[in-house]
Amino acid sequence: MPLVDARDLVIDFPIYGARSRSLKTTMLRAATGGRLAAEQGERIVVRALDRLNFQWREGDRVGLVGHNGSGKTTLLRAVAGIYEPASGAIEVRGRVASMLSITLGMDAEATGYENIFLRGTILGLRRNRILDLVDEVVEFSEIGDYVHMPIRTYSSGMIMRLMFAISTSVQADILLMDEWLSVGDDDFADKAQKRLLGLIGNAKLLVIASHNKDLIRKMCTRVLHLEHGKIVEQT
């Protein structure tokens, strides 16, 4: 049984100018019975993903490749359930953890400790689970006593280490990543890499978008090549 199953998946982005965003224009359109619609109300749509078909199963390590704007991030968001298809369907089974933005929900004025709870909560962890994780996260991120300081006093490296440590504490069936997460100096980067590999090892499915060909070759068992929202090659 596939974990992710896309059938003719289409994602369209409506482009709203100042005009069509305005209530007046819409009301005018309704009042004039749609005659004006052809002139100014036309909705411009950008097709971000065009009839994609794929099936990813347990154990797959999928690499998404393609140029900027080819639809990689949009596809990750569609798998995460953020963008729902304009037509076609995408079925996702299992718990999804998206590593699309590891600093989401971060509050610079709050302490490291508070941020661990905030970030953990957003990721769907229960309070007790976070309490269990705190020590490990603090130790791993090497921030020491700074955990009681507002994170605006941290160096950017410290912030990234902390956020990385929390975000990688979540176990999931399906792991979504936009580029490989790499944080900190050489020593830390090694440690982080190990942790990330452990996380990936525990996940049933990894989907990673990347421009790094070596990484894709090394990490992935399957590759999906997108150009202009279409699949040009799939293995």
Partner 1 sequence: MKLSSSLHLAVDDLATGLSSVQVWAALGWQDVKQRYRRSQLGPFWLTISTGIMVAIMGPLYGKLFAQDFSSYFSFLTIGFVLWQMISQTMIDSCTTFIQAESFIKQIKLPLSVHVLRVVWKNLIFFMHNLVVVIVVLVYLQIPVTANLLLFPLGVVAFALNAFLYGLIIAVICARFRDIPIIVTNVVQAAFFLTPILWQPGMLGRHAWSVNLNPIYHFLEVMRAPLLGVPADPTSWAAVAAITLTGSLLAVAILKRYRARVPYWV
Please report, as a single letter, which amino acid is at residue 172. A
Site for partner 1 contains 80 (CB under 8 A): yes
In the complex, the smallest distance separating the C-beta of residue 16 from partner 1, rounded to whole angstroms, is 8
Q: Which is nearer to partner 1, 107 or 190 (CB)?
A: 107
Site for partner 1 contains 107 (CB under 8 A): yes
Task: Determine the Cα–Cα distance for residues 189 and 167; give it in Å rounded to an integer.
Answer: 15
Query: Pick from 49, 63, 75, 83: which binds partner 1 (CB under 8 A)?
Result: 83
Site for partner 1 contains 171 (CB under 8 A): no
In the complex, the smallest distance separating the C-beta of residue 14 from partner 1, rounded to whole angstroms, is 6
User: Burial of 41 by CB count in 10 Å (0-12 exposed, 13-18 middle, 19+ buried)?
Assistant: middle
Q: Are strands 87-92 and 44-56 parallel, antiparallel or unpaired?
A: unpaired
Site for partner 1 contains 128 (CB under 8 A): no
Q: Which is nearer to partner 1, 110 or 223 (CB)?
A: 110
Q: Which residues, 6 or more positions from 105, have their beta carbon under 8 angstroms from its beta carbon?
A: 118, 119, 122
Task: Determine the Cα–Cα distance for residues 228 and 49; give it in Å rounded to an integer.
Answer: 8
How many CA atoms lie within 13 Å of 159's alpha carbon, on the beta-carbon side?
Answer: 17
Q: Which is nearer to partner 1, 64 or 151 (CB)?
A: 151
In the complex, the smallest distance separating the C-beta of residue 34 from partner 1, rounded to whole angstroms, is 18
H helices within the chain, ranges in order? 18-21, 23-31, 72-79, 112-122, 127-141, 156-167, 186-202, 213-219
| Interaction mask 48-77, partner 1, x per CB under 8 A | -----------------------------x
Site for partner 1 contains 232 (CB under 8 A): no
Task: Determine the Cα–Cα distance for residues 210 and 63; give it in Å rounded to an integer.
Answer: 7
Q: Which is nearer to partner 1, 5 or 142 (CB)?
A: 5
Site for partner 1 contains 111 (CB under 8 A): no
Determine the size of the site formed for partner 1 (CB under 8 A): 33
Task: Determine the Cα–Cα distance for residues 40 and 20; give it in Å rounded to an integer.
Answer: 8
Site for partner 1 contains 96 (CB under 8 A): yes
Site for partner 1 contains 221 (CB under 8 A): no
CA dihedral 31, 34, 40, 41 (to 10 degrees): 90
Please report, as a single letter, which amino acid is at residue 11. I
Site for partner 1 contains 17 (CB under 8 A): no
Please report, as a single letter, which amino acid is at residue 141. S
In the complex, the smallest distance separating the C-beta of residue 213 from partner 1, rounded to whole angstroms, is 26
Contact footprint for partner 1 (CB under 8 A): 13-14, 16, 21-24, 26, 77, 80-84, 96, 98, 100-101, 104-105, 107, 109-110, 114, 117-118, 121-124, 126-127, 150
